[in-house]
A and B are shown apart, each in its own frame.
Chain A
Amino acid sequence: MTGRRVVITGIASHWGLELARRLERDPGIEHLAGIDTRRPAAELERTDFIEADLRSPLLSRVLPSTEADTVVHCGILWYPEPGKPASALHEINVIGTLQLLAACERTRTLERVVVRGSAAIYGCDAAAPAFFEEDLAGKGKLTTRFQRDISELEDYFSNFARRHSELVCCMLRYQPEIGAELDTPLVRYLTLPAVPVQLGYDPRLQFLHAADATGALVAAVENPVRGAVNVAPDGAISLSRLLRLLRRPAIPIPHPLFRPTLERFGRRLGVGPLLGDAIRMLRFGRGVDNRRLREEIGYEPRYDAVEAIRDFAAKTNRRRIGPQLHAGAVVERFAGAGR
């Protein structure tokens, strides 16, 4: 039996690159190819790079020629990236997925499709279940742009899965990731010298450790299951405790002013805009149930919601934008003043 042939879209993204690195070490994979509009930042050993835009119909000719049996879609963007502005997110996410699925229809050798989607599809609501299960998507109202996009592309994807019952189509719904090496607006927000929060709200959050984010993706490529799977750590942590563990003081701001404040001062400090989904998440919180990930895909997250934060704190405590402002650090300065 010959090895598997895997194509990764969005290879230049952090997660596409991480996945390719892990899969290169897998001897069971005969051929590995990556599609993106620009070259990945790091050199890969045995991954063929195909320069193509997911949004272009050209993809329908490129993809069948790879004779792939597995397609992993890592091209869904949470945030604008260099060369991919906010105004293009909808195009990239929805139209890109649509074109990719059209190309998948033409690929006769295909057996499985794995999409790295987002748990933003559930939205964030005070009245929501504390831990969303996979069948609850689309029950609430769609409030943010990103949520609408994700929900639209998931619709296309589930239609595709219905038409092609011979294919294993797996949609992974990721909670936001955290890791010292990540450069997302949410991670930068959490490393501000003092972190603005919404007055009176203390949401329950789940941040997925970067190692688990990659681990779950690799596990899902090896053993995909049909339908949607939540990817999240066990448990949850409140924002107030999270900031204490990170030794970052919180600045409460009335919630109507939260977004403008972040936009005005955040950009200067290099936070970048937080999307509507993140703003709502920092108000109402969001928890998802990860039983399908553990029981069906068979991946046990190594870090739970609290350990992920502790690990992040240990790795970023020396690296911060601006001065130390936490109560502990202030005491330190006073204690040293008498010398």
Chain B
Amino acid sequence: MSATDTTEGPLPGPEALADFLRNMRVGVESGLDPLTAAQRAAGSLPKQLSGAVDAIARRLQGEYHEDEWGFDEELAEAVFPLFDFLYSVWWRVVAEGATNVPSHGRALLVSNHAGSLFPFDASMITMALMKTHPLPRWPRFMVLDWAFVLPFISGFMRRVGGIPASPRNARRVLEQDELVMAFPEGVKGTGKQFSERYRLQRFGRGGFVEVALHTGAPIVPVATVGSEEIYPKLGESEALARATGAPFVPLTPTFPWLGLLGLVPLPSRWRIEFCERIDLSEYPPEAADDPRLVFDLSEEVRERIQQKLYENLVKRGSAFL
């Protein structure tokens, strides 16, 4: 490789680098602010690198979009490869029926919840949508509000689309015609024993149905198989839970015995099925105040997911191989 074709290779030659610094200095001296100067001067660098300089300068200057919930699409795209690895290689996810998710307008995805230590189901459903839906878009997911007390995790969750779980938040984000994921089992779902796996817990108080009725959003039940085996919960430590303020701290075959290594999830096989959507537009918004209807609809969704869970468990066969 000669020094002249530096515009092709991934790494710049010393000359290109010198050019870059020289151009940047010219820019700064002519009154540009340093970040803008760096951005302009990056033209002399190889394509990939100049793109990276550009992106970093833009982020440092705060010139990126963030919606009112704190969702940052660029960041979500940046962490995509990591979750793609988990999706395709680690858990070998098979997704079905993504077309049941409307490609525009509001919709509420309702799924079973599992994965005691750190539930990955929201991220994997997101990946399934992004990879298999013909017109993908980023869904928002309701997160247990305790997670928003935690440093670092709270900020990350919010940037990739997490929203503290509350009916108000769900309603507001649905009214903005977004795709919203809810896990009505909540902590009861993630905190159940390994022996209880794939047995759906009570669906809260049917709050998700009220929200759907209020906003006229269709409900798409989602059955996720595989999430129960990633951190099999054998017991729990009350002392640790009290110390951290967490709803529960699970004991798994690896955690906390192996320390940080215990945080590596087991490589189970996953299946995600998006079921046929339940259209609630025939009900007026006032129907949300009818507890009987809310309870019946909630039970209907729950049974549908439970049935799909059993079907997918049979289709999956062995949990790990």
Contact = CB atoms under 8 A, between A and B. Distances in A.
A126 B154 contact: yes
B166 interface: yes
Given A238-B66, A244-B61, A331-B38, A129 B155 contact: no
A326 to B, nearest CB: 9
Interface stretch (A112-120, A175-183, A196-204): A196-204
B35 interface: yes
B68 interface: yes
Given A328-B33, A329-B34, A204 B70 contact: yes
B146 interface: yes
Nearest to B173: A130
Contact of A328 (B34, B151, B163, B172): B34
B169 A126 contact: no
Residue among A238, A305, A328 with max Cβ neighbours from chain B (10 Å): A328
A201 B155 contact: yes
A336 interface: yes
Contacts of A236: 68-70
Contacts of B59: 244
Nearest to A131: B172
A201 B154 contact: yes
A217 interface: no
Interface of B: 21, 24-25, 28-29, 33-35, 37-38, 59-62, 64, 66-70, 145-146, 148-152, 154-155, 158, 163-164, 166, 168-169, 172
Given A202-B155, A328-B33, A328-B34, A127 B62 contact: no
Interface in A209-254: 234-238, 240-245, 247
A42 interface: no
A180 B169 CA distance: 33
19 contacts: A126-B148, A130-B69, A198-B151, A200-B150, A200-B154, A201-B155, A202-B155, A236-B69, A236-B70, A240-B155, A244-B62, A289-B172, A327-B35, A327-B60, A328-B60, A335-B24, A335-B29, A335-B34, A335-B37
B38 A127 contact: no
A235 B24 CA distance: 36
A338 B21 CA distance: 11
B27 to A, nearest CB: 9
B181 to A, nearest CB: 16
A129 B62 contact: no
Mostly, the B contact residues are helix
Contacts of A128: 164
Given A126-B149, A204-B158, 17 more contacts: A126-B154, A127-B146, A129-B164, A129-B169, A130-B69, A200-B154, A201-B154, A235-B68, A237-B66, A240-B155, A241-B64, A243-B62, A284-B148, A332-B33, A332-B34, A335-B21, A335-B25
Given A133-B168, A236-B70, A328-B35, A127 B148 contact: yes
A242 B70 CA distance: 12
A242 B62 CA distance: 7
Contact of B155 (A200, A243, A247): A200
A287 interface: yes
A318 to B, nearest CB: 12
A328 B61 CA distance: 9
Interface string A117-161: 000000000111111010010000000000000000000000000
A256 B68 CA distance: 28
A199 B24 CA distance: 33
B170 to A, nearest CB: 10
Contacts of A243: 62
Contacts of A200: 150-152, 154-155
Nearest to B32: A332
B215 to A, nearest CB: 15
A234 B68 CA distance: 8
Interface in A293-338: 305, 327-329, 331-332, 335-336, 338
B68 A126 contact: no
Contact of B62 (A235, A245, A305): A245
Nearest to A241: B62
B158 A129 contact: no
Contacts of A245: 61-62
Nearest to A332: B34
Given A331-B35, A332-B33, A336-B29, A238 B164 contact: no
Nearest to A337: B25
B40 to A, nearest CB: 13
A271 to B, nearest CB: 22
A182 B151 CA distance: 31
Contacts of A305: 68
A20 B109 CA distance: 52
Given A127-B145, A130-B163, A244 B25 contact: no
Nearest to B67: A235
A331 B64 contact: no
Contacts of B28: 331-332, 335-336
Contacts of B29: 335-336
A-B pairs with lowest CB-CB distance, top 6 = A200-B151, A244-B62, A127-B145, A245-B62, A126-B148, A331-B34
Contacts of B150: 200
Residue among B69, B70, B145 with max Cβ neighbours from chain A (10 Å): B70
A116 B67 CA distance: 29
B127 to A, nearest CB: 24
B22 to A, nearest CB: 10
A284 B146 CA distance: 12
A130 B152 contact: no
Contacts of B172: 130-131, 289
A327 B60 CA distance: 8
A235 B145 CA distance: 21
Nearest to B172: A131
Contacts of B68: 130-131, 204, 234-236, 287, 305
A242 B64 CA distance: 11
